[in-house]
Amino acid sequence: MRSDQTARSLRPAAEHFVAPLDETPLQKVDAVDTTATPRSMWGEASHNLVRNPVFVISALLILLLLFVAAFPGVFTQYDPTKGDLSISNQPPGDGHLLGTTRQGYDVWARVLYGTRTSLTVGFFAMVISTVIGVVIGAFAGYVGGWVDEVLSRITEIFFALPLVLGAIVAFTALSNGVGTVTIALILALFGWTNIARITRGTVLSVKYQDFVTASTALGAGRLTNLAKHVLPNAIAPVIVTATVNLGVFIVAQSTLAYLGLGTGSVSWGGDISDAQPALRNNPMMLFYPSFALAICVLSFIMLGDAVRDALDPKARKR
């Protein structure tokens, strides 16, 4: 024991050096702007989004797709539903940018007008399924008890039904022709379960927060708390899932059109199906609508990933 104390006493004392304050001025990177208005969660998210190249690229692609869907006539002069057998299977050129199909349709025109069908069905299906899922999930998570049990069991029943298979059965049951809104309703009927499950989980994590308890103590009712305090703070994961679901519904609509179940309008899935006989002789007929479908779905998936990173920094760090 004494030897250890003697050894420590013989060691030279460690010198500590502290630089003078005037030699270490506060750098701009360390400075804090105390006059700036603090950002909200949504303000911080938008601030991060505009600096994310993934969001910028996906947003530009989606804006381009929306413009093409709204004004396809700006990019082509041909009617995608009128074929001319005298120009069947023409190569690109001679006024036809991507050539013509076996029936004499202009491929470029059909790719452009197919954007409108896919985006319209996908958008309406996304909106309807989001509304259904948010309402069911919010009431299940916030009310709890037997309401939660009943709504959760209903959600599990629909969750067990595959989206495309359920849509095929519904199409088969409808003997008459279906329109765009009907297709969107059918897809939404089998596609709201993910939104409901996510909404229920986020509402359960938010409803016990202190600000909700304080609002209840001040006399706010259940519906007021749910609408003004719980849902606004639980909606972020729902937005991300809805964005990704839009791409899923576009793929589902194209799959149904590929199987011959659709409105009869121009669709990427229908063009992919029609191009199969020409796969060996003219594989580009299959490539063009497939490429357009892939770019469209990829844009919405990239947008969903960017929004998720902005609203959930922990996910970005993982």
- Give the structural domain span for 200: 52-89+96-317
pLDDT at 8: 52
Q: CA-CA distance, 313 to 306, in Å (whole number)?
A: 11
Residue partners of 217: CB distance under 8 A and separation at least 6: none
Count of domains for the chain? 1
Is residue 20 assigned to a domain? no
Partners of 93 in the beta sheet?
Answer: 96
Is residue 214 assigned to a domain? yes
pLDDT at 102: 82
Is residue 128 assigned to a domain? yes
Q: What is the CATH number of the domain that holds 310?
A: 1.10.3720.10
Is residue 256 assigned to a domain? yes
Question: 3-17, 40-54, 123-137 — which is least confidently predicted?
Answer: 3-17
Among the listed residues 303, 266, 296, 292, the one whose alpha carbon sits nearest the alpha carbon of residue 122 = 296
- Looking at the predicted structure, is the pLDDT value of residue 128 above 90? yes
Is residue 44 assigned to a domain? no
**Tokens in use for 176?**
């008459």
What percentage of the chain has pLDDT greater than the value 90?
22
Is residue 45 assigned to a domain? no
Burial of 26 from C-beta contacts in 10 A (0-12 / 13-18 / 19+): exposed
**Tokens in use for 282?**
């003219």
pLDDT at 59: 92
Is residue 14 assigned to a domain? no
User: What digits encode the pLDDT tens for the residues 243-299?
Assistant: 989 989 999 988 888 888 766 678 888 888 888 887 777 788 889 999 999 999 999
How distant, in Å, are the alpha carbons of 59, 66, 85, 176, 218 from that of 62?
5, 6, 34, 33, 44
Is residue 6 assigned to a domain? no
**Helix segments in 32-179, DSSP class H:** 41-49, 53-70, 107-143, 145-159, 163-173
User: What digits encode the pLDDT tens for the residues 190-199?
Assistant: 999 999 999 9
Q: With bands split at pLDDT 50, 70 and 90, how would you rate the model's confidence at 306?
A: confident
